[in-house]
Amino acid sequence: MKKVALFLTLMFMTMSYAQETKQIPQISVSGEGKVKVAPDQAIILATIETKGSNAKDVKKQNDQKMDAVLKFIKKMNIPTADFKTKQVALNPQYDYEKKKHNYNATQTVEISLKDLTKYDELMEGLVDQGINRIDGVTFESSKLAQHESEARKLAIKDAKSKAEDYVSVLGQKVGKAIVISDNSQGYRPQPMYAAMKSMAMDSAGAASNETLAIGEIEIVSNVSVSFILE
């Protein structure tokens, strides 16, 4: 009797499990949303590099140049919150031919330029004040969160549109979304490098100060969505 009861119990559990694991008709698709916008601000990494045989003199010269650079940035009416020292280094370098040490001092300042009309004047002034290395210029949008939200919505719309295309030939409809996965890698603006140059002369001898083409930045969102089929 106990064996029969145990058998019936196991059979009931198996039937219940089978009912619970009954598959729900669904479709899984990916979607992508892209938003292209013109950047309205830039992050500039500018470095002063000084070399010499005396560590103290090299550091002093480097500090004096950076002091002039920081004063110039302030004269450009860039808020103090928008520029900061990013890196300071003083390293010995051994000259094997002359068998003596030289020293290399570097200081890097990061500038957040929120008015791109000042770009050319700022870059030329930085060079005049002693900057001898531009490590990078990255163009960004001040409305990044808004554009990311728009890209996510476009990605969901793209996923649903794909799902509807697939099931349209089957006589079925796309129902509610049951799983949404964000596969975005996170927005990382591509660096665009600008050459340091003074006012150039065109073929007619006229001054020209066009130093960069800003173009557009692309904000991308990727999602995976599973929809119930009705």
List pLDDT tens digits, range 201-219: 343 444 445 556 677 888 9
* Among 167-176, 206-215, 217-226, the least confident range: 206-215
The residues, ordered by sequence, that sit 6+ positions from 95 with a Cβ below 8 Å of its Cβ are 101, 102
pLDDT of 221 reads: 95
pLDDT of 30 reads: 96
* Euclidean distance between CA atoms 228 and 221, whole angstroms: 23
Distances, alpha carbon 101 to alpha carbons 2, 44, 49, 54, 93, in Å:
92, 32, 17, 9, 6
Does the pLDDT of residue 156 top 70, yes or no? yes
Residue 136: strand, helix, or coil: strand
pTM comes to 0.68
Does the pLDDT of residue 169 top 80, yes or no? yes
Q: Assign 24 a pLDDT band (cuts: 50, 70, 90).
A: confident
Exposed e or buried b per residue across 182-221, where buried means at least 16 C-beta atoms within 10 angstroms of its C-beta: eebeebebeebebeeeeeeeeeeeeeeeebbeeeebebbb
* Euclidean distance between CA atoms 177 and 40, whole angstroms: 37
Q: Whole-number mean pLDDT of the chain?
A: 83
Q: How many residues does the chain have?
A: 230
User: pLDDT digits over 44-66, tens only?
Assistant: 999 999 999 999 999 999 999 99
* Euclidean distance between CA atoms 6 and 72, whole angstroms: 88
The amino acid sitting at 160 is: K
Asked if 205 and 21 count as a contact pair (C-beta separation under 8 A), the reply is: no
Share of residues in the chain with pLDDT > 70 (%): 78
